[in-house]
Amino acid sequence: MSDKIKIILDVDTGTDDAVAIMMAYLEEKIDLLAVCTVVGNKPLENTTENTLRVKDLLKADFPVYKGCGEAMVCNLNPNRHGGFKGVRTKVGDMKEDVSMHTEYLDIPASTSKVEKEHAVFYYIDTLMKSDGDITLVPVGPLTNLAMAMRIQPEICGKIKEIVMMGGGCRRTNSTPASEFNIWHDPEAAQIVMDSGVPIRMVPLDATHNACVSTDDTKEFRAMGNPVGDAVADFTDHRIMAYSQLQPMERIDSAPVHDALAVCAVAYPEALKDLLFTRVDIDFSGGFADGQTIVDPRAFVDKPRNCHFAFDADREFFVQWMKDLARKV
């Protein structure tokens, strides 16, 4: 029997999701069972096509399941996402919009296809049949997972762990209070936080401390293989966008958020300064809509539900990606 860590990745691909998929596929400690797609960085059709493009680039055979194209309920209220803008694509006197994600990833169009089953039912079928040994790694909005939990709550007892990219305590991006994955579907995020499943949260507090720089992308490009080139291209695009919209402390660098969550699955030591605490989500529709509320107190009111990472080991994380990309 294989002792690899079985995971299902849930993505809204996206430049950093693309790197996460590549690393999950290449990491020998991980058995990538499937990749599920969700709306988020772009509409569902785009995130799904992008996911298939990455799969084809890797010449991989993992199945791709298409999931939800809209957040659970928050779009019903025009004062929610309508009232606040998402991650900003223009600041100051910028004339052109700049985005961390192109409409489609700049790699060849896909030839492979999605599976027939919907991602939500794939989760339910697979988890119910499992021995409770599957780790879920959502790195986009939590819509698919929360839907599956609502339809079949028994899956919660079958999930080994959730290692998710999302949230932010001292760092935010969508609004002054919120991080994108949580903000996009706050009700879904709260359902997951209430699920009772062990959760490790990889928030902006950790990912912003593990940025990839242009010195690093030069090394990826010098590898001379399709993965090294793709990581370099996607990350250089991110660095260009972050430098204009949300400059990082380390000059000419950007977070590759989602890949850090994958790294943490195989190497928990990549995350630092973890706090086991209570985390809830604001979904009241006000200024703090989508906020990750991390309880810093010694005596919390509700049971602790999350290991929240305030920091990460940048050198370890970047070296891990380089080692994986180099062996392609």
Q: Which spans of this chain sit near ligand BDR (rule: CB under 6 A)?
A: 14, 16-17, 41, 100, 139-140, 165, 173, 179-181, 257-258
C-beta closer to ligand BDR: residue 139 or 197: 139
Cβ distance to Ca ion smaller for residue 201 or 277: 201
Give 213's Cβ-side CA count (13 Å radius).
10
Specify the residue, 124 or 166, whose C-beta has the smaller distance to ligand BDR.
Answer: 166
- Is position 12 annotated as part of the catalytic site? yes
Region for 148 from its dihedrals, namely left if φ exceeds 0, alpha if ψ lies in -120 to 50, beta otherwise: alpha
Quick note: the x/- pattern for Ca ion over 202-231, rule CB under 5 A, is ------------------------------
Write down the least CB distance from residue 52 to Ca ion, Å: 16
Catalytic residue among 3, 10, 12, 97: 12
Among residues 227, 167, 179, the alpha carbon closest in space to that of 24 is found at: 227
- In sequence order, the β-bridge partners of residue 65 are 36
Q: Smallest distance, Å, CB 165 to ligand BDR? A: 5
Task: List all residues 6 or more positions away from 173 whose beta carbon is below 8 Å from its beta carbon.
Answer: 87, 179, 180, 204, 246
Q: Find the part of the chain contacting Ca ion (CB under 5 A) among 87-95, 99-107, 132-140, 298-306.
A: 132-140
Please name which of 265, 299, 225, 249 lies closest in space to residue 5, comparing C-alpha atoms: 265
And the tokens for 203? 């928030």
Question: What is the Cα–Cα distance from 210 to 204, expressed in whole angstroms?
Answer: 10
Q: Give the Cα separation of 139 and 37 in Å (integer).
A: 10
CB of 19 to Ca ion, least distance (A): 10
- Pairing mode, strands 306-312 and 292-294: unpaired
Q: How far is the CB of 174 from Ca ion (least distance, A)?
A: 12
Residue choice 32, 64, 139, 294 for contact with Ca ion (CB under 5 A): 139
Residues that bind Ca ion (CB under 5 A): 12, 14, 17, 139-140, 258
By annotation, the residues acting in catalysis are 12
